Structures are given as C-alpha cells and as structure tokens.
Structure 1
Amino acid sequence: MQKGLVLRSTGLWYDVVSEDNKRYKARLRGKIRLQNLKVTNPIAVGDWVFFEEETATDTSQIPIASIFDIEKRQNYIIRRAPKKNVHGHIIAANLDQAALVITLAMPRTSSGFIDRFLVSCETFRIPALLIFNKTDLLSPEEVQIQDKIREKYEQIGYPTLAVSATEDPSLQALEAAIQGKTTLFSGHSGVGKSTLLNRLAPHLNLRTQEISDFSEKGMHTTTFAEMFEFQPHTYLIDTPGIKELGLIEIGEDELSHYFPEMRELIGACKFHNCRHLHEPKCAVRQAVEEGKIAKSRYNSYLSMVENDDNRR
C-alpha cells in the first residue's frame, strides 16, 4: 500500500503522485466513508490517498492504480453542487490558504460572491487572500472604487493585492504570499486566474481565452481542478470558473460567526439567540446603522440567511 497526493480529478480517474514522486492514473475501488458527507466527488484535489499499483500491461504508459482509502482531511472548500441541492462538491482539500481572483468589470465580481467565498473559508478557518486583477483596465475613478473595496476587507482582517496579470513587471508580493503554501485560486470565469498562474509559472502553459465583448463574461478554460508544484513545497490549485457559490453545511444560527466583524459582537445582543434580522436591541444591526459594519456585508449575510444564491 502506498500513499499519494491527488493532483487532478476527472470524475472517475485521478492523477496521483506518490511519496517517491511517481505518477499514477488511479481509480476508486469500493466506497470511502467521508464523515457522512453528501458529496458528488468522494475524492478531491489535495486529498492524500492510499493506493496499490495494478498489474502493468504497457510499460510505456502511466501505471494504473487502485485507491482504497483516504487520509482524514485537515480542511476543504465545498460548494453546493449545481444540479443537486442536497449534495455538495468539494473544490479542493488540505489547503494552507484560498485566493479569490476578483475583477470590477469584464466580468464583474459582486460583493455577494466575495462574501460567500470568505464565509466558506471561515467555516474551516482557511486563511483567505483577495486578489484584484486587471488593474490596467481601470479608469482613475474605478481605481478609487477598488481602493475603497480593498479597504473594507482589509479593515476586517483580509489581506488584498491589486495586480495586472498582463502588465505588472513583477508579481513579487503575490509570489511572497504563496511561498511554501498550498493555495487554491478561485473566481468567476474570465477573471484571469489562468493568466495569473501562467505569469507566476510560465511552464504551466495553462489555456486562456478572451472575454466576450458582448456579454462581458469569460468562457470556461479550466475543465477540472488541478494542482501544480510551483516550487518545492509550494503548490497552486487552478479551478474551473464558478458562476455561483451556493453554501452548504452552515446553519443559520452559526452563520454570523463566519463574519469576523459580527463575531466580535457575540454576546452583545439582547437575546443570546439573536439572528440579527428584526430582533430588538441587536448589536449587529446597530453597528450597521452606525457604519461600523459595511452595509454590503450585512446584505450578503441576509442573502445567505434567505439561501438566495443570486442576490447581489
């Protein structure tokens, strides 16, 4: 029995690299128990699995292996499966941090989408990094808008970077932020994830595609999540573009705990089970009225309580 890291999942087959750096095409044998999780993918990129090599039939091809078990995950990022409301889809597992690539336009990343991503990270205490890309396309007025958005998130503890994947002569700040870590890169299609990763590691040669001038939306160029070793002990995970990020496994009574600025006010409301909706003497709503909590963040909270994935 060997132990290996899952670098890519294509549904029924997995690309696995063993501890001695040998590559395998692996498939799952039997069922794996995942703490009663209802998920569409039992194994995800970033998982450590236990496998055995099958009898080789052609030495010129990548050897085939059978996966029998999975090591307990440290954490994972999960979203509601698009076609199965009661099931989740694990985007990646065992992360040191998750980076969301954001654009103000072409395409636009809404504050609601950003906040859902951050809540998903907070659920498993995964540090989050917000990367504002395509700064070269912004007007001076748009730069000011972006700076205000960055300031809003930095004030509640989330680091941000502003970059241009096509024009920045150096991405040193981003390189420093990912050094020695396993980092998930996520975002809408067209925000420039693959272009950014190609700049960081040109040898990856990831596919990119132009944005449609008509729809101002990107096309999916990444079909499956895939992990790459950028440098020794530094891994990057490229993911398919996400249109919506449906939350799963989060109860309404605990949702506010995943908003750092609301978490600071735990115990300050009149009622210990306050949902911060219409209850009297609610410290969270008072903080919103006083401008101590951004109204956009509170609106995102309301949309999550209402389970409205489309609300902006």
Structure 2
Amino acid sequence: MAKQKKLSKGQSRRIKANHQKRLNNADTKPAKGGAQEWQTDNLGATESAVVISRFGQHADVETQNGDVLRCNIRRTVSNLVCGDEVLFRRAKVSEGDLAGVIEATQERRSQLTRPDFYDGVKVIAANIDQILMVSAVLPEFTPSIIDRYLIACEDMGIEPILVLNKIDLIDEAGLNEIQKILDIYRGLGYQVLLVSSVTGEGIDDLKNVLVDKNNIFVGQSGVGKSTLVNTVLPDAEILTKEVSENSGLGQHTTTVSRLHHLPSGGNLIDSPGIREFGLWHLDVERVTWCFKEFREFIGGCRFRDCKHLNDPGCIIQQAVADGDISQLRFDSYHRILETMADGRAGARAPRV
C-alpha cells in the first residue's frame, strides 16, 4: 500500500503563505500594546509559566507562584495553545491589562491536533496526559465518533478514557444494548465510564481518574462536556446549553479553551466542541495501525497493497470472520477511510 503525504505541495505553499502574511501584518500593523512596543528595559527577568487560555495575540499565563497574568505574545512564538509551558518576562510598568510578554515555549510532551484546510495540522491543546472522550445517549450514541478520537489518541500516544454521559436518559434495555458495544472497547483495554450529572452516578469514578493528570474533554457538542466540567469543578461556572429540539444537535457553548485546576490535584482543559474530527492528514497505513486490534495482522495479507475489503488472502478480513476483530470496528475503519478520502479531495479543491 503506497504511502500518501500528509499535506500536498499546494497545501504546504498555502500554509507558508498564510503564515508569512500574518508575520508581515504583525510587522506593519502592530496592535495597540503589542509585543513589539515593549521596551527591553521595561521587562524583568525570564520566568516559567503555563498558558491557561489564549485570546488572539494575548494569552493568560499562570506563574509558578500562582499569579495569573495576561501577556502579549512575541510574533516569533507561533502556535501557542492552552497547556503550553512558556518562558515570559513581566512588565515593570504594565500597559492596560497586559502585564508581560511571552518570549518562548518549552518543548511539548504531547499535543492534541486536528487538520485544518487553511492552516494544515492545527494544535488544540498541549502537554496532555489523558483524553476523556465524551459521548452521550442524547442526541445519539455514535461509535464511529469514538473511533475517530481513538485514532487520534493512538497516533499521539495519549491515554484515552471513554465517558458515556446522560445515562439517566435511557432505559435499562437501551443501556444494555450500548453496553454490548462498549464491551468491545473494554475488550481492547480501553477504560469506560458511565456517568450522569443528574443522578451523580459514576461521577466519583470520573473525579478519581482526573487526579494528578493534565486532562482534556473532547466530543461532539451537546454531549454534556461543559456540564461535566461544572460537576467536577463547580467554581469554573462553564456555560451550558441544552440539545436543540429542532436539529437534535448540541450548540457550541465554550468558545475559548481554558485550563482549570482540580481541587483534588491535576488540571482539566475545557475546549470548544468539535462535531467532526477530521483525519485526512494521516496516512492510510497509520490509521490502520491506530486500530490496535489490527496490529498483529498487519503485513500478513497475501498482497502488499491489500485494501482489507474484498481482497483475496486478506488476513484482517479473516480475523473478522474468526471473531478476533469486531464487525462494528471493521466497518467503522472503512467508513473512516472513505471520509478521509473526501477530506483530502476537499483540501485539494480551490477555496473561494
């Protein structure tokens, strides 16, 4: 199976052009209070901090002694996101609400990314220990969305935890059907939590897995991420909104990612809802590897370019027939490859 490049030459050119345009704009049109206006003699010594939120050309950082300061970002510092560990300098005399300048970022231990048609691979958050993938019985329990997030987690080497929310809204028979699907993921070694913010079921288990970790909740909008954040961290006061009765889809309620400290230790990053998690930037071979139950069979097919569909001598198809790989996950794998192909076609299409 031939490898495909993550980004086409055309995409790479557009990304570089966009980046250079932003730099040029920063040079010719400095924002009021921008980093280039700070004089060196007005800045103190270099300190370490963590980005707890990003607002355009500014970011809120928390210092090692707990101070929260709004800082400008040097134009040489690119792609700064919530969770980044940075080096900054305080202003001796503040300008408005700006109290310093971020000079550089430390090397990331991990990062959550997604593809973007204009900017290539976009980083959402940094230095994450585990990703809690929230799904819900309302508006709909969708295993294919879970598989998309699992691919991202496996690709980045970040521990995933599956969280099924709103279990108070389904009867026992319906929950039993969902449990059969969740058993597939449990069998693969993934941790699964069933929770309800209304009844409190599973909330203690949820709080326990967050301790002493840098965590992020991901999932489609409307699955109750913000409600869960309010439940485990009441002081955060995250806005929530019910699922739309007309569309059945959730409404985006969080617009800026923010890092919150948990009372029991550890941190939680609340990020905007993502209805679709694109994977078109990954090689097909990488997606295949990210289905962890496929790994022991990779390379065993009769033909090197086996598509694992109707190809003769496909060992992965045989594993499905033998019950070693679930039909649900196998079908999800091929649906994801189809959407990836559509995504690449969209990326190649001219933008108007």
Normalising by structure 2, report the TM-score. 0.79
Quickly say closer, same or farther: Cα 1:309–1:182, change in 2 above 3 A.
Answer: farther
Distance 2:242 2:276 in 1: 21
Quickly say closer, same or farther: Cα 1:169–1:108, change in 2 above 3 A.
Answer: closer
Task: Kindly indicate whether residue 301 of structure 2 is the aligned counterpart of residue 276 of structure 1.
Answer: no
Quickly say closer, same or farther: Cα 1:85–1:262, change in 2 above 3 A.
Answer: farther
1:55, distance to aligned residue in structure 2 (A): 4.2
Q: Is the 8 Å Cα contact of residues 73 and 102 (structure 2) preserved in structure 1?
A: yes
1:288, distance to aligned residue in structure 2 (A): 1.9
Task: Kindly indicate whether residue 52 of structure 2 is the aligned counterpart of residue 7 of structure 1.
Answer: yes
Distance 1:282 1:31 in 2: 50
> Which residue of 2 is the match for residue 37 of structure 1?
none
Q: Is the 8 Å Cα contact of residues 112 and 126 (structure 2) preserved in structure 1?
A: yes
Task: State the secondary structure of the residue aligned to 2:284.
Answer: coil
Task: State the secondary structure of the residue aligned to 1:98.
Answer: strand
Q: Identify the match of residue 98 of structure 1 among 131, 135, 140.
A: 131
1:120, distance to aligned residue in structure 2 (A): 0.3
Q: Identify the match of residue 105 of structure 2 among 56, 60, 70.
A: 70
What is the one-letter code of the residue matched to 1:269? C
> Which residue of 2 is the match for residue 197 of structure 1?
229
Task: State the secondary structure of the residue aligned to 2:108.
Answer: coil
Unaligned ranges ≥5, structure 1: 34-41
| Alpha-carbon RMSD | 2.1
What is the one-letter code of the residue matched to 1:29? R
Identical amino acids, percent of aligned pairs = 32
1:50, distance to aligned residue in structure 2 (A): 1.3
More helix by share: 2
What is the one-letter code of the residue matched to 1:129? I
**Mapping of 1:112-151 within 5 angstroms?**
112-151=144-183
What is the one-letter code of the residue matched to 1:304? I
1:200, distance to aligned residue in structure 2 (A): 1.1
Quickly say closer, same or farther: Cα 1:205–1:27, change in 2 above 3 A.
Answer: same
Distance 2:165 2:201 in 1: 14
1:151, distance to aligned residue in structure 2 (A): 0.4
> Which residue of 2 is the match for residue 16 of structure 1?
61
Q: Identify the match of residue 26 of structure 1 among 68, 71, 84.
A: 71
Distance 2:217 2:150 in 1: 13
Q: Is the 8 Å Cα contact of residues 75 and 124 (structure 1) preserved in structure 2?
A: yes
1:137-160, Cα deviation, whole Å (9 max, x unpaired) = 002221112111210111111110
What is the one-letter code of the residue matched to 1:173? D
Distance 2:342 2:142 in 1: 12
> Which residue of 2 is the match for residue 54 of structure 1?
91
Q: Is the 8 Å Cα contact of residues 166 and 195 (structure 1) preserved in structure 2?
A: no
Q: Identify the match of residue 254 of structure 1 among 271, 280, 286.
A: 286
Task: State the secondary structure of the residue aligned to 1:112.
Answer: helix
Distance 1:148 1:85 in 2: 40
Q: Identify the match of residue 211 of structure 1 among 243, 267, 282.
A: 243
**Mapping of 1:292-303 within 5 angstroms?**
292-303=324-335
Task: State the secondary structure of the residue aligned to 2:121.
Answer: strand
1:254-292, Cα deviation, whole Å (9 max, x unpaired) = 221111100122343234564424433121111123332
1:30, distance to aligned residue in structure 2 (A): 2.5
Task: State the secondary structure of the residue aligned to 1:184.
Answer: strand
1:184, distance to aligned residue in structure 2 (A): 0.6
Distance 1:224 1:183 in 2: 16
> Which residue of 2 is the match for residue 237 of structure 1?
269
Distance 1:167 1:232 in 2: 22
Unaligned ranges ≥5, structure 2: 1-45, 344-352
Distance 2:281 2:107 in 1: 18
Quickly say closer, same or farther: Cα 1:216–1:85, change in 2 above 3 A.
Answer: same
> Which residue of 1 is the match for residue 19 of structure 2?
none
1:179, distance to aligned residue in structure 2 (A): 1.0
What is the one-letter code of the residue matched to 1:193? K
What is the one-letter code of the residue matched to 2:113? I
Q: Which moved more, 1:86-95 or 1:157-166?
A: 86-95
Distance 1:154 1:169 in 2: 19
Quickly say closer, same or farther: Cα 1:247–1:55, change in 2 above 3 A.
Answer: farther
Task: Kindly indicate whether residue 200 of structure 2 is the aligned counterpart of residue 168 of structure 1.
Answer: yes
How many residues of Structure 1 are paired with residues of Structure 2 in the alignment?
Answer: 297
Q: Identify the match of residue 188 of structure 1 among 217, 220, 238.
A: 220
Q: Is the 8 Å Cα contact of residues 4 and 48 (structure 1) preserved in structure 2?
A: yes
1:276-310, Cα deviation, whole Å (9 max, x unpaired) = 24433121111123332122222222233331579
Distance 1:308 1:195 in 2: 35
1:96-124, Cα deviation, whole Å (9 max, x unpaired) = 1000111122x224222111100000011
Distance 2:293 2:230 in 1: 35
What is the one-letter code of the residue matched to 2:102? I
What is the one-letter code of the residue matched to 1:25? R
